[in-house]
Structure 1
């Protein structure tokens, strides 16, 4: 009798287990939004997330790096990216759009730049700035604590081809790569407090547009030939003998499944257009005011309530 009981129990467990594994999984009913490692993207992703929740659709946020987001977007693991910056993401974005792997949801009004930058007071010590030729002449100003004859350029975790620029233009600089934007701003703040020269990665629109007078280095102007044809520029053997693109676009990207799963969200993202001022303010609320991403999104939404109302007012066929 005991054996019979255990056999029946075993069969019941096996049957129950098989039904669990054979049962098709239900697709998520949440819009999944990536949050990256720069402040404006996180704040504005929360702004858009709040608008989506106002449509009655739940939202989930996932921290993910800019590099890893493309595969997740292609597979529909995340549903859109609200800030695609041309200088750092344009090549990957264009390739995926051309292959039909992601959807181009339009261009913001904002124009962007990502490049080498310094506080304005540095020109008092190196008057030939912002011309790039001044960098080698003034490299001693940018020497770090390490025993090196090279100047130090502080970069972030993102790849802008800075090492290629250094090689192609013969700059006597080394890159000190910092882990995130917070480390960049910490290095910048310390340098400003001591009025010490510093050269670092920056971008615009950003909080520094409002709070710190500074300049981007004037490298040879970017062209597509600079990245592909060695004979094009000053260095006839190497590409990337130019700076990053100035006045680049800022776009929105969507997963291929977004329109089918969440048509109203798809149309909402299409309607949204950020200006330079909007992005600067979003970054400032996080970096200067030190609000959490959600609290910064709340404050930002109050300031730009009229724009939000316009974006949300267009009808949607659910």
Structure 2
């Protein structure tokens, strides 16, 4: 997190900076670390629960001021439109090495021979069927607030699966846990960094390589009639702000721009919250106390 930027004015320290809280644990951790850093600089911070897909208009209007963990793979068209219009600002990569895709617990490979190749799912679709999906297999998709990447890819690849949105990140984890404990078939849309990847021995399905061409040209993927018949594109995780942050809270803008958090830093904190049941604020405060040499220089560079 080291920075060589020159110090900036604090600006409107009596007005709170409103940070968006979205629907997944890693985002809570990233946001609380950012909030504590801003408080250390002398700012007031409010954490505002916001739907990931529909918060961008509010940020463009200055009702929200920053989102600290934005996944480029599933931002809505609204983000791109407002960003291109200069109403939202991308303030740089967060630093997470991220991947998204279809996953399955290790025992599922014994139930569906041929995995991790995606073609195996076509042959095994009936194995994953439930009363609500018959005759198709059941694919546990992201929560509805995050878009429909599982449904889109399953249809494009002709896998024979019906995508059922999980109710939340917690519900998605519960599905995975139940599959591992009962040794039942499961394929789901998931991501890393996440403590569950190692805790439940999850493996990625080998989908056709995700490329820009696959999303632009039907001929680029295995299904010549559609686009998007491939894996997720490599995911960039970045930070976004209301453009007014730069003028209203100059030092805060520098702190958010220079904040980074690695997968190795974040993932153990996720496990502490989701597995050990610890409070997000307590976990991030403990990390901050133990790692001042990492984050403190960013705050000092922006304020002194």
Q: Same fold, TM exceeding 0.5? A: yes
Matches within 5 A, 1:181-196: 181-196=169-184
Distance 1:126 1:147 in 2: 18
Aligned residue number for residue 204 of structure 2: 216
Larger radius of gyration: 1
1:168 to 156, 168, 179: 156
CA-CA distance at 1:274 after TM superposition:
1.2
Q: Displacement, 1:119? A: 1.0
Q: Gapped runs of 5+ residues in structure 2?
A: 1-11
Residue 167 and residue 143 in structure 1: after superposition, are their counterparts in 2 closer, same or farther (change >3 A)? same
Change beyond 3 A, Cα 1:90–1:250: farther
Greater relative contact order (Cα 8 A, min sep 6): structure 1 or 2?
A: 2
Deviation by residue 1:127-158 (Cα, 9 ceiling, x = unmatched)? 31111101011223322244712110011222
The alpha-carbon deviation at position 304 of structure 1 amounts to 3.4
**1:204 has 2:192 as partner:** yes
Q: Deviations over 1:92-127 (max 9, x none)?
A: 544433321111111132221222111122112223
RMSD: 2.1
Q: 96-105 or 80-89: which moved more?
A: 96-105
SS at match of 2:164: strand
CA contact (8 A) 1:169 1:235 kept: yes
Between the two proteins, the alignment pairs up a number of residues equal to 291
Answer yes or no: is the 8 Å Cα contact 1:139–1:172 preserved in 2. Answer: yes
Q: Which moved more, 1:292-301 or 1:111-120?
A: 292-301
Equivalent runs, 1:100-179 vs 2, <5 Å: 100-146=86-132, 148-155=134-141, 156-157=143-144, 158-179=146-167
| Equivalent position SS for 2:95 | coil
Change (3 A) 1:108 1:46: closer
Q: Pairwise mapping of residues 1-318 of structure 1 onto structure 2 (< 5 A)?
A: 29-89=15-75, 93-146=79-132, 148-155=134-141, 156-157=143-144, 158-246=146-234, 248-316=235-303
SS state of the match for residue 286, structure 2? helix
Secondary structure at 1:144 match in 2:
coil
TM-score, normalised on structure 1? 0.85
Q: How many angstroms apart in 2 are the aligned matches of 1:289 and 1:107?
A: 29
CA-CA distance at 1:212 after TM superposition: 2.3
Residues 67, 291 of structure 1: CA spacing in aligned structure 2 closer, same or farther, 3 A cutoff?
same
